[in-house]
Structure 1
Amino acid sequence: MTNEKRRRGFFQRRTALQALAVAVLITANAPPIYNFVSTYAHEREINSDDYKARHGHWQVIELPSDVRINAIHAALLDTGKLLLIAGSGNNRAEFEAGSFRTLVYDPVSGYTKDVRTPTDLFCAGHAFLPDGNLLVAGGTLRYEVLAPDVTRAGGTMIVKNESPDDEPRTFPKGTEFVAPDGRRYVAAAEFAVEPATKTESRRGTVTVTASETSLWVDAVEEGSGSISATPTQYAITGLTGVDRQNLYGLADKMTLDKQDYQGTKETYEFNPRTEEYERVGDMAEKRWYPTLTGLPDGQVLSVAGLDGAGQVLDGSVNEIYDPKTKKWTVQPDLDRYFPTYPALFQTSTPGRLFYTGSSTGYGPEDDGRQPGFWNIEDNRFQPVPGLRDADLMETSGSAWVGPVQDQTIMVVGGGGIGESARSTSRIDLIKLNDANPRFVPGPSLPEGTRYPNLVQLPDDTTLITNGSRDYRGKGNSDNHNARIYHPDTNTLEYAADPNIGRNYHGSAILLPDGRVLTAGSDPLFRDKDNLIPGEFEQRLEIYSPPYLFRGVRPVISAGPASVGYGDVATFTVQDNYAGIGKARLVRPSAVTHSTNVEQRSIALDFTERGDQVTVTIPAEAAVVPPGFYMLFLTNRMGVPSAARWVQVVD
């Protein structure tokens, strides 16, 4: 045998042995290698151009560790930057330390700014004003304390003033109230007391009605000795003479029962140009989990929430903010109860709001759950029928469908009251301008979904993303899926799966470039057996819808920065090879707890001549409330431009 044949035989035997060894290795390690190959194939598929054009694409964004934030609230400013509000971030230690956070983030440049946050805006309400400022009202006065951890008795103190000749008086946090038997209680926050009111009848009879304000007080001493089970009148320490007689406290009881979260009445406007909070007039009522709804005249209605004693507000103190005076006015004729964070939308009819039944957080199961029209001119409420799974509306999502002129709203998902494990995949729709409006069934989500986020896209579709099957993602129940709803066919289209699960305190917002940013998530646990405490999700994720992978985008290169009602405005458009198919004004979002009553898309009539597109602004402020909007022009291939900011003014 020649040396060449010997070498060939040796190499053949060695190759065979190597192949056998590899085969044994593969057999021994089949699952890991299979998973690696499977993961590689999946990554290759979802990053392919064809897949992106059919289903879109997600990208995880991790901010530097020193600026990451618990994004409880998210709003898009007219500068294109995002306002991410944490306040105390659902973190008791941060609350007790007085450490409150707000971050301004530019998703294009990566710019961040840590904004001085003057109070705990955790679980406030918000709405945009005509000048682009974001009104932020309410927040957290006190964190929840469970009964076993309550060491000092507490309760609601009603402070009265019987003097009509007194001036308004402010008392500091820690003001002491003393019972006849010497038990002492202190105010948990600063409070103000107005003078009594004096009225005179036609016959000359004078009637004095004491003013009153409520606040929470805690016992000075620990233990059961601080409990009071009977109505008691309390003296205010430091007052003497006639003041001591006119000003006093009343409380029905002081207990060691569970103490709920409590709201504040503080109100701020966030200025996108200075990127700072500006203090304005306080609300009349303390609110935690309120909804703020913008009205056609630029004013803002505030409803619902937990008060300064942790009780769900009864609806008798709904109030309106005037951005011109920067003050709130109580609306005594608008007596309407809602559970916390109700989804309350301005319809195309002035003075007429629509409540979808969606809410988050607090309220009894048998009160304030019926969807319907609320007329804020005469306080009438008209219920609407047809809603399926009506007992599974808490933590559901609600949004306009397509242009607001169609007056169609969708309700998506939801679950049972409180810490219920029940959830629904239901999508129901209602056309508000029908002769007899009622909910009708739409397509179903692939699984039960609490905390869904709904985002209106410039092509009239709606992205429905994330959520969880169980309360706050218990049992590893986050839904890693997304769907795109098509109103023209009443169908759901599969969208790429998000990488990050999001449940409670998750949010999603349309960006000016047509992408969608998601943030937040606050699971109770991070294991299937619910043993390991959850961690707040601080990563962001951006979804690029399929329309961004389907060709050249038109570019709006010039046009007016502001328009009036009924105006005709012309914009210069480049790269408009396919011609324009749709023109939409999209209001920027301000979202928290799956509640976003700000976003709306407005269809514009338009004409096209060369590189000029002329649009007509609707004349009705109920359709287009004053403020800033993103103008999107979508070509006939379904590809939208990046937005151009336009302010709609009176």
Structure 2
Amino acid sequence: MKTFSICLFLVVLILVHVPVCPAAGGSWSVLLPSIGISAMHMQLLPNDRVVMYDRTDFGTSNISLPNGKCRPNSTDCSAHSVEYDVGANTVRPLMVLTNVWCSSGTLMPDGTLIQTGGWDDGYRRVRSYKSCRTCDWKEIPNGLSKQRWYATNHLLPDGRQIIIGGRQAFNYEFYPKKSATENSPSFPFLVQTNDPNVENNLYPFVFLNPDGNLFVFANNRAILFDYSKNQVVKTYPTMPGGQPRSYPSTGSAVLLPLRIKRGKVDVVELLVCGGAPKGAFVNANNGKFDGALDTCGRIKISDANPQWVMETMPMARVMGDMLLLPNGHVLIINGASAGVAGWELGRNPILSPVTYTPDNQIGSRFEVQNPSTKPRVYHSTAVLLRDGRILVGGSNPHDKYVFTNVLYPTELSLEAFSPSYLESSSNALRPSIISPKTKTSIRYGKRVAITFTVSGPVDLNSITVTLVSPSFNTHSFSMNQRLLVLDSPNSTKAVGKSTYKIGVVAPPSGNIAPAGNYMLFVVHKDIPSPGIWVRIQR
């Protein structure tokens, strides 16, 4: 009878499609119980510090500005931005003057964070931050031609940023501008993807294609866009099912690893995952929380006739972040399984990250990871650190700081998720880079010799070198995120006891890798070394 009951239980599990995948790995640690603010926006800098900020009208935060400072014309003497020092595990309060709520940004080639837009007095602001022990935000009034709120930025091959869209902003512009009269060209695609009741075209997913054009995804559609001529080069099929994937039906997206061979990238693929079904935003505002989408769409935009291929995640997810890991895998982290983005509009947090291995066969690409104990829902963030960990912060589904008597209190803590490649069992296989030294400059198309050690047995045919750009993360999208697998024309060679050398070729152009700062990793059997910083120069 007992055996029969067990068998019956297993049959029921199969019939109702309950996932029985055990957690595969990864571990969590709380770095700081409070950084004083809720990390709504996050950017890693090339000195291993992370700038974070929320919004200036949340009320008084839990960290004071230094030396008795207060914001101008305000009684708020608390900080709404901090700089986190990864190595020291400490935070330093920063002074941001205008409202940065739901803003955007990207690192410039020299490592300066340029942050744009926001709410109210921040609509047209440009803010810059260059890190040093005493550095703080600098602000440029009217630095933008148009109001930018929920826009997306991307670094371009000429070293400027393009800033696309925003609430009721169906256009784009550049920073810095070439002249005071430079305008903001209209972008009809954002009108075409705008749902008047929901929008669903905010924080569009934008990626630089190796041909120099931009892949832009909003709602459920995508185009290839020549921003220099203001022309649509190609229109892609609507994602099957037609469900919305961008804010507030917030899914996420990544440009899958770009493999450089003989100075070219032959295959360019995008992956878009999660979101919320049509009507979910209206329903959530009426107290009905629809289940999130459990599908991903993958499209090879380098094909002559690109088509979406759909896959199913182990669990549905809205407001999840998608990050490229140094070994080329994708991490999907944070979010909820019901509702949408917005104040009080998400339900049922997803605590377990999922990894996606692009080169595996369909059906064996997803793997569930060990869970956190902290819900990270609306306004949560995540970025890759140089040591291979994922820094996770934020989560505040309220229009103020609220810590009690709510489903999901405002979260001020900072965590790290360590993927399974950081487990001690992999130590013998983990590379360690000897040369070049961190902060080395490399030039397009030039050869770079990398010397590294591995203490255990080495499979010389499994060595790759990757470059990962430090992305600007907010609202489930990492702006300017890309990973390059460098061309290595010659095989890896042993040059001493446990010491090896590999020669790679730097990316050939700014279309493939805009000039700027990248993290370089040596990867052995999918286990990455700690990274070093390199700067690609023209």
TM-score range, shorter chain: 0.7 to 0.9
Distance 1:631 1:643 in 2: 5
By how many angstroms is 1:533 displaced? 6.5
Given candidates 322, 325, 329, the residue that maps to 2:176 is: 322
| Structure 2 unmatched runs, 5+ | 1-21, 62-70, 192-200, 260-264
Task: Report the CA distance shift for 1:562/1:428 in structure 2 as closer, same or farther (over 3 A).
Answer: same
Partner of 2:300 in structure 1? 431
2:251 maps to 396
8 A Cα contact 1:320 1:328, kept in partner: no
SS of the aligned residue for 1:547 comes to helix
Q: Name the structure 1 match of 2:518.
A: 629
Aligned mates of 1:326, 1:628 — CA distance in 2: 26
Aligned residue in 2 for 1:347: 209
Question: CA, structure 1 residues 297+605, in 2 after alignment: closer, same or farther (shift >3 Å)?
Answer: same
Deviation at 1:623, TM superposition (A): 0.9
Contact 1:87 1:100 in 2 (8 A): no
2:225 is aligned with 1:374: yes
Equivalent of residue 277 in structure 1, options 137, 141, 152: 137
Q: Which residue of 1 aligns with 2:478?
A: 596
Match 2:390 to one of 503, 513, 516: 516
Correspondences of 1:501-580 after superposition (within 5 Å) = 501-524=375-398, 532=406, 534-549=408-423, 550-552=426-428, 553-559=430-436, 561-575=440-454, 577=456, 578=458, 579=460
Q: Distance in 2 between matches of 1:62 and 1:507?
A: 15
Calculate the TM-score normalised by the size of structure 1: 0.65
For the pair shown, which has the larger CA radius of gyration, 1 or 2?
Answer: 1
In structure 2, how many angstroms separate the alpha carbons of the residues matched to 1:438 and 1:572?
41
Asked if residue 70 in structure 1 is aligned to residue 49 in structure 2, the reply is: no
Summarize deviations over 1:182-215 as a string: whole Å, max 9, x none.
Answer: xxxxxxx6xxxxxxxxxxxxxxxxxxxxxxxxxx
Q: 1:120 aligns with which of 99, 116, 134?
A: 99
Task: Render the CA deviation track for 1:214-258: whole Å, top value 9, x for unaligned.
Answer: xxxxxxxxxxxxxxxxxxxxxxxxxxxxxxxxxxxxxxxxxxxxx
| CA positional deviation for 1:576 | 5.8
1:332 and 2:185 correspond? yes
Q: Judge conservation of contact 1:389–1:424 (CA < 8 Å) in 2.
A: no
SS of 1:329's equivalent?
coil
Which amino acid is the alignment partner of residue 356 of structure 1?
Answer: F
On the 8 A contact 2:105/2:479 being kept in 1, the answer is no
Of residues 239, 243, 246, the one that matches 1:387 is 239
Alpha-carbon shift at residue 314 of structure 1 (Å): 3.1
Report the Cα offset of residue 461 of structure 1.
0.6
Distance 1:485 1:585 in 2: 19
Question: Residue 337 of structure 1 aligns to a residue in which SS?
Answer: helix
Does the Cα contact within 8 Å between 2:170 and 2:187 map onto a contact in 1?
no
1:508, 1:591 within 8 Å by CA — same for their partners in 2?
A: yes
For 1:388 and 1:531, locate their aligned partners in 2 and report how far apart those are by CA, in whole Å: 41
Distance 1:576 1:634, change over 3 A: farther
Q: Aligned in 2, Cα 1:113/1:531: closer, same or farther, shift over 3 Å?
A: closer
RMSD after superposition: 2.7
Quote the residue 1:91 is aligned against: 58
Q: Structure 1: which 4+ aligned runs deviate by more than 4 Å?
A: 92-100, 325-328, 333-336, 472-476
Cα offset for 1:474? 5.1
SS of the residue corresponding to residue 421 of structure 2 reads helix
Offset at 1:475? 7.3
Match of 1:236 in 2: none
What is the deviation of 1:326? 9.8
**What is the identity, as a one-letter code, of the residue corresponding to 2:294?**
S
Corresponding residue of 1:179: none
Structure 1, unaligned runs of 5 or more: 1-50, 142-188, 190-262, 307-311, 359-368
- One-letter code aligned to 1:75: Q
| Superimposed CA distance per residue, residues 58-86 of structure 1 (whole angstroms, 9 cap, x where no aligned partner) | 112334x5x42111101111011111112
Q: Would the alpha carbon gap of residues 475 and 503 (structure 1) be closer, same or farther in structure 2, given more than 3 Å must change?
A: closer
Q: Tell me if the contact between 2:444 and 2:506 (Cα under 8 Å) persists in the aligned partners.
A: yes
Per-residue deviation at 1:396?
A: 0.8
Counterpart mapping for 1:175-324 below 5 A: 264-273=123-132, 275-280=135-140, 282-306=143-167, 312-315=168-171, 318-322=172-176
Deviation at 1:321, TM superposition (A): 1.1
Give CA deviations for 1:390-437 in whole Å, capped at 9, x if unaligned.
233121101112336431111110014635433201111011101111
Say whether the 8 Å CA contact 2:170–2:186 is kept in structure 1. Answer: no
Q: Which amino acid is the alignment partner of residue 378 of structure 1? A: K
For residue 341 of structure 1, give the secondary structure of its aligned residue in structure 2.
coil
Match of 1:418 among 268, 281, 287: 281
Per-residue CA deviations over 1:30-72 (Å, capped at 9, x if unaligned) read xxxxxxxxxxxxxxxxxxxxx99x4111112334x5x421111
- Equivalent position of 2:534 in the other structure: 646
Q: Relative to 1, partners in 2 of residues 1:389 and 1:506: Cα closer, same or farther, differing over 3 Å?
A: farther
Which structure exhibits the higher relative contact order, with contacts defined as CA atoms closer than 8 Å and separated by 6 or more residues?
2
CA 1:126–1:545 in structure 2 vs 1: closer, same or farther (change >3 Å)? Answer: same
- Show the counterpart of 1:478: 349
Task: State the Cα deviation string for residues 314-340 of structure 1 (Å, max 9, x = none).
Answer: 32xx211138x7979324375653632
Pair 268,498 (structure 1): closer, same or farther in 2 beyond 3 Å: same
Could you tell me which residue of structure 1 aligns to residue 196 of structure 2? none
Q: For 1:605, what is the secondary structure of its paired residue?
A: coil
Provide, for residues 328-376 of structure 1, a one-character-per-residue CA deviation record: whole Å limited to 9, x for no partner.
Answer: 93243756536321111111111x1111225xxxxxxxxxx53221222
Q: 1:494 aligns with which of 368, 389, 409?
A: 368
| d(CA) in 2 for partners of 1:327, 1:618 | 33
Contact 1:335/1:379 (<8 A) preserved: no
Higher helix share: 1
Partner residue in 2 for 1:79? 47
Aligned equivalents of 1:462 and 1:334: distance in 2?
Answer: 30
More displaced, 623-632 or 578-587?
A: 578-587
Instruction: Please give the alpha-carbon distance, in whole angstroms, between the structure 2 residues aligned to 1:484 and 1:267.
Output: 35
| Aligned-partner residue type, residue 441 of structure 1 | M
Task: Determine if contact 2:39/2:379 at 8 Å carries over to the other structure.
Answer: yes
How far the C-alpha of 1:534 sits from its partner, in A, is: 4.4
Determine if contact 2:31/2:89 at 8 Å carries over to the other structure: no
Partners of 1:79 and 1:576 in 2: CA distance: 28
